[in-house]
């Protein structure tokens, strides 16, 4: 019997590199939470661009520039894979970011949330009527329409822009009746369209999932980016032979462009796991039109 093949030291080094994850703030920590649960042996490095949040009302050229800056920061720290844990950035800048990374000569996959979420929603719907709650930038991009109809052209997607919902959740203010009525207004077109599946097209929205479920009804399935991304990342690691071979738990670290203490205080609620030291990074604030 031939001796088992032992991976070269270089292969071990490549597989032990961290997975880079970025978002406009702490919302993407809901995606990181699912990744930590589904891929416990991997190391992760999360970058929150909290100095420039929210991304949801930004013009496309800014989102493309911000995404490139965040990706370059994570690549400089040896990320083996990039996860764009921001729906607005994915919807507007994903293809641009893929081209940018390829131009650097690095063989690093860039995985965004739109495709995996859309595929999961199409697989889940029984009636073919799907709803989308997302930021104005995400809805305006048309990315979810293209992804959903690309997976099944017979589905009907009802998209609703929610210009203030991410900010309400980010602030962690008390849930008042006014907040409930704001959310009810966003859900109204989806109830009227009789959707049976709703994509939560912003990483902040899972934090108000119970409220959304109550308003939309118990028969409506809510699709979150975290669960969809965990499957997609696991697949990418397997195809590229990049899964970390360690038997125990990996490490996870944090960077942000804004106030590190504020990020840490708010982030614990989103991650549902301890957040240790948060490093501060400066990204170029000058973005050409």
- CA separation for the pair 233, 41 (Å, rounded): 13
* Residues labelled as active-site residues: 86, 202
- Find out whether 151 and 118 touch, Cβ atoms under 8 Å: yes
- CA separation for the pair 29, 131 (Å, rounded): 23
> Of 180, 189, 181, nearest to 161 (Cα)?
189
Burial of 259 (0-12, 13-18, 19+ CB in 10 A): middle
- Find out whether 254 and 275 touch, Cβ atoms under 8 Å: yes
Sheet holding 44-48, edge to edge: 110-112, 81-84, 19-23, 44-48, 252-256, 278-280
């Amino acid at each position: 019997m031939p001796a088992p093949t032992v991976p070269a030291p270089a292969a071990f080094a490549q597989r032990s590199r961290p997975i880079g994850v970025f978002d406009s703030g702490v919302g993407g920590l809901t995606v990181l939470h699912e990744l930590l649960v589904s891929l416990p042996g991997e190391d992760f490095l999360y970058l929150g661009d909290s100095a420039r949040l929210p991304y949801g009302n930004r013009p496309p050229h800014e989102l493309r520039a911000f995404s490139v800056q965040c990706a370059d920061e994570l690549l400089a720290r040896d990320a083996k894979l990039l996860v764009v844990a921001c729906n607005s950035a994915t919807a507007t800048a994903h293809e641009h970011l893929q081209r940018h990374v390829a131009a650097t000569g690095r063989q690093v996959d860039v995985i965004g949330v739109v495709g995996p979420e859309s595929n999961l929603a199409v697989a889940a719907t029984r009636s073919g009527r799907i709803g989308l709650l997302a930021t104005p930038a995400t809805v305006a991009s048309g990315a979810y329409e293209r992804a959903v109809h690309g997976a099944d052209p017979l589905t009907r997607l009802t998209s609703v822009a929610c210009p203030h919902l991410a900010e309400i959740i980010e602030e962690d203010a008390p849930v008042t009746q006014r907040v409930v009525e704001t959310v009810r207004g966003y859900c109204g077109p989806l109830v009227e369209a009789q959707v049976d599946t709703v994509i939560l097209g912003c990483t902040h929205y899972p934090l108000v999932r119970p409220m959304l479920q109550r308003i939309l009804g118990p028969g409506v399935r809510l699709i979150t980016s975290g669960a969809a991304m965990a499957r997609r990342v696991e697949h990418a690691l397997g195809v590229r032979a990049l899964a970390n071979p360690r038997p125990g738990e990996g490490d996870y670290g944090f960077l942000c462009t804004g106030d590190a203490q504020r990020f840490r205080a708010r982030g614990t609620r989103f991650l549902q796991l301890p957040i240790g030291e948060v490093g501060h990074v400066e990204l170029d604030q000058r973005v050409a039109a």
